[in-house]
Amino acid sequence: MKFCTSCGSSVILQIPVGDDRERFVCTTCELIHYINPRVIVGCVPVYEGRVLLCKRAIAPRKNYWTLPAGFMENGETTLQGAARETWEEARAQVSNLDLYRVFDVPYISQVYMFYRCDLNDGEHGVGPESLETDLYEERDIPWDDIAFPVVYETLKEYFADARTGGFPVRVSEIERGSWRR
């Protein structure tokens, strides 16, 4: 960050009074600019035991498979954001959203929240960020072509939970270098 978003003056990196870490502070109006983690929201849409996946049309990880997910927008709830992202990426309407998985990814300053949900009527299509979409049973998942560690872990846990019929909410951390593909 080079300039204040409030007045346009230059900013400097310093520890503000009463704080414990460096922040960007405006040299003129003294506004403190906090840079906080990004929240990514998405769904595990299920229809007749199969999970909806999207093949990415954009970087990063273009041509790899993912669950429909993306950055939360200002003014929406995590649930609204997850449903919106599912529509945007897979042209799919979902219902009965239940929080299922939370991942902290501190090395890239992100938090992921996935909701388990029903895919209405099994209908889906291709949004502008996807090359294709499809419903997968566990045995047919393209495991070697999954885009992100959070998606891989979520899918593995979902199918294990589906066998037992229990879907606990889990929170865990993805550490740098913990997943190589």
Report, as an integer, the average pLDDT of 64-70.
Answer: 98
What residue ranges define each of the domains in the chain, with the CATH number in brackets? 1-35 (2.20.70.10), 38-173 (3.90.79.10)
What's the rounded mean pLDDT across residues 143-153?
Answer: 96
Beta pairing class for 94-105 and 170-173: parallel
* % of the chain surpassing 90 pLDDT: 93
Strand (E) positions, the chain? 11-14, 23-26, 32-33, 38-47, 50-56, 65-66, 69-71, 94-105, 110-119, 130-136, 170-173
Query: What is the per-residue pLDDT across 93-133, written as a single tens digit (0 to 9) for each?
Result: 999 999 999 999 999 999 999 999 999 999 999 999 999 99
Q: Is the pLDDT of residue 71 over 60?
A: yes
Average pLDDT, rounded, for the chain: 95
Where does residue 40 fall: left (phi above 0), alpha (psi -120 to 50 degrees), or beta otherwise? beta
